[in-house]
Amino acid sequence: MKLQVSRKNYGKILHITDTHLFSDEEGCLLGINSNKSFLSVIDEIKKSKKKFDLIVATGDFVQDGSQKAYARFAEQIIKFNTPCVWLAGNHDNYTFMQDVFAHYQLADNKIVLFGDKWLIVLLNSQVVGHAHGFLPESELTFLQHALLQHADRHALVFLHHHPIQSGCHWLDQHTLKNSEALEKIIQRYTQIKAVGWGHIHQQQDHRWHHCLAFSTPSTCFQFKPACYDFQLSNDDAPGWREITLHLDGSLTTEVYRLANNPFAPDLSQNGY
């Protein structure tokens, strides 16, 4: 199924990722109450009074695997009264996601026709039971078919796992394992203007051949950049990314974070 988002000039996307919610209101992960940090992010976005045409959520919605935690996410997102598309991360139960999100009318669409000029494609890189990602042949074929079918549109691709090395040795053991297959498609189809992901709990911005490539911060804890072993960041607040798509195929994007961050991770932790 395809979702159509009507826009005449430019359009704005809100990218949220790695919320790691719990059914228990007081559930904490690595010292942070992820339910409360998520609510703080949502509140700050709402206070900005910005209007979005689409919300893209790229996985790791919950930490405890519960349907109630998925409902927590959906209950907040529907308040935006904005279409939301989503994909699974390595922590997610896809069946629970489908069941709960369908109840809240969060569409299970992996193709979005955004205005007259843009195509958005969501890819499932989840490998059940593993932290790393992989795009099976079916997903790669799906992407190429969408690009060919909508060859007159500029394309923006989302997935959960990072296809570009993060610079953190421990994180890069859990990368997209067949990133070279995605890279070949990017090189072949110049209509792809950008690729976005979550998973690494960091902001990164790259130039990947002819397109932009970026990761978006988590709404809870952040991983410290450029570390060999697991380390949390005490400097980077929970955040989100805003993306503006222009008619000429260009896009502008910026990361925002909580201005007054009350959430401090437990820096003594060495994994999760």
| pLDDT tens digits, 210-242 | 999 999 999 999 999 999 999 999 999 999 999
**90: in domain:** yes
**270: in domain:** no
Tally the domains of the chain: 1
**121: in domain:** yes
pLDDT for 8 beyond 70: no
The whole-number average pLDDT for the span 32-59 is 97
pLDDT for 9 beyond 80: no
**268: in domain:** no
SS3 for 70? helix
Residue 92's domain comprises 2-257
**pLDDT tens per residue across span 139-197:** 999 999 999 999 999 999 999 999 999 999 999 999 999 999 999 999 999 999 999 99
DSSP 187: H
pLDDT of residue 271: 82
Scored b (16 or more CB within 10 A) or e, 254-269 reads ebbebeeeebebeeee
pLDDT of residue 69: 97
pLDDT for 6 beyond 80: no
**191: in domain:** yes
pLDDT of residue 59: 95
**60: in domain:** yes
**272: in domain:** no
Per the listing, tokens 């998973």 go with 199
For residue 52, the domain's CATH number is 3.60.21.10
Nearest to 102 by CA among 126, 67, 129, 52: 67
In the predicted model, what is the mean pLDDT of the chain? 95
Nearest to 37 by CA among 219, 267, 233: 219
Listed range (7-21, 109-123, 175-189) with the worst mean pLDDT: 7-21
pLDDT of residue 185: 98
**54: in domain:** yes
Q: Quick one: pLDDT band at residue 1, thresholds 50, 70, 90?
A: low
Is the separation of the CB atoms in 54 and 13 below 8 Å?
Answer: yes
Please give the model's pTM, rounded to 2 decimal places.
Answer: 0.96
